[in-house]
Amino acid sequence: MEPVALPWGPPREERADAARNRAHLIGVAREMVAELGACNVTMDALAERAGLGKGTVFRRFGTRAGIFHAVLDEEEALFQHRVMTGPAPLGPGAPAAERLAAFGRARLEFLAAHLALARASLDVARPVPGQSPSLFHVRMLLAEACPDDALTGTLALQLVAALEGPVLLYLQRQDEGPLVVDDLITSWQVLVERLTAR
């Protein structure tokens, strides 16, 4: 259904104000997560440092998890920006197989660095995190590295699951030891090298 311009509702300035509050809150939350760790950021402290009422914070994000989800979305956007326009081999300019290996390393480091944030954003009732940006990128590089392969689509789906699945699984369990990211990076590189070798 198309949105309809209603003759009532909040005036335009208030909506612009709401957007500013939201961006401000996300910025402050990012700072606090970096300083204190996600699990030590309370809604009270966030509202206080942002100079806003606690009611405003809840109105913008619904729950405590909601704010971490918004911060994670921001971090995702910055990551995608590095992939799309940053220096090679993560960014454009290197052979596809090299970019694929670099993407795996960067993605695993990103996921590991944001574990606490991702865990803090989990308990909100939301669908499974979308993997589309990773999927889109891996499929593109795979099509370039293996132009003769017919099943680039499903192979990309499996590679993204191989890359992100172990970390997502780890996230949803509480009883595990430490996540050995370096080993995952190395075995991802083995996987990609053998897959794209000609």
Figure out which of the listed residues 43, 116, 140, 155 binds its own copies, where binding follows CB under 8 A. Answer: 155
Half-sphere exposure of 2 (CA within 13 A, CB side): 3
Instruction: Examine residue 173 and tell whether it contacts its own copies (CB under 8 A).
Output: yes
Smallest separation, CB 90 to its own copies (Å): 20
Q: Is 14 helix (H, G, I), strand (E, B) or coil?
A: helix
Q: Which CB sits closer to its own copies, 37 or 153? A: 153
158's CB contacts (< 8 A; 6+ apart) are none
Give the gyration radius of the chain's Cα atoms. 20
Instruction: Examine residue 187 and tell whether it contacts its own copies (CB under 8 A).
Output: yes
Instruction: Examine residue 143 and tell whether it contacts its own copies (CB under 8 A).
Output: no
104's CB contacts (< 8 A; 6+ apart) are 163, 185, 188, 189, 192
Q: Which CB sits closer to its own copies, 14 or 123? A: 123
Closest C-alpha among 107, 29, 116, 70 to residue 99: 107
Q: Is 72 helix (H, G, I), strand (E, B) or coil?
A: helix
Figure out which of the listed residues 161, 176, 177, 178 binds its own copies, where binding follows CB under 8 A. Answer: 161
Instruction: Examine residue 176 and tell whether it contacts its own copies (CB under 8 A).
Output: no
**Long-range Cβ pairs for the range 5-10 (8 Å, 24+):** none
Residue ranges in 115-134 that form contacts with its own copies under rule CB under 8 A: 127-128, 131
Instruction: Examine residue 27 and tell whether it contacts its own copies (CB under 8 A).
Output: no
Q: Which CB sits closer to its own copies, 13 or 175? A: 175
Footprint of its own copies on this chain (CB under 8 A)?
127-128, 131, 149, 151, 153-155, 157-166, 169, 172-173, 180, 183-184, 186-188, 190-191, 194-195, 197
